[in-house]
Amino acid sequence: MENHLPGKVRRVIRARYYDIPPRAWVGKKGLDDGVIEEIKAQLEKDGILKVEIRKGALISTELDRKALAERVAELTDSELIDVRGKRFILFKPREGWEKYLRKLRRKELSKEKREERPVRKVKLDIVNFRKKFKKGRD
């Protein structure tokens, strides 16, 4: 499975969407077409999804939780953000991976440009400053 996102972005997404409730479940039928289509539809609608693995899914697929989550991410062309217990978070940008990754690269480049520019120090002449504003008060 290929990771699209850098670690920093993954951490931000994990922290932001930790508390969302699960809206899809993998049950005793395992990874059949209906489950995968439902997960794809939810990802297209919202871009992020928490999925819960039921006990029957582990028995029927004979995979552990991490492997099952990676398989779902591979089938839906999404990024596996986090696996905690029996729940995992999937992310897929609504605009598509190419456009999303270009936008991330542009943000990084703009941050680098902003950081390269030195800060200009301004020297204040307090005496002239006070004279200027003292005239205005009279």
DSSP SS3 for 83: strand
Reference 107, options 2, 1, 5; nearest CA is 5
Proportion of the chain in helix, strand, coil states, percent, rounded to 5: 55, 15, 30
How far apart are the C-alpha atoms of 50 and 29, rounded to whole Å?
19
What is the average pLDDT across 30-34?
Answer: 91
DSSP state of 55: H
The model's pLDDT over 102-138, given as tens digits with 9 standing for 90+, comes to: 888 888 888 766 666 666 777 777 777 777 777 655 5
* Domain at 1-138, CATH from 3.40.1500.10, 3.40.50.970, 3.20.20.70, 3.30.110.60: 3.30.110.60
Return the pLDDT at 70. 94
CB 92 within 8 A of CB 76: yes
The model's pLDDT over 62-72, given as tens digits with 9 standing for 90+, comes to: 999 999 999 99
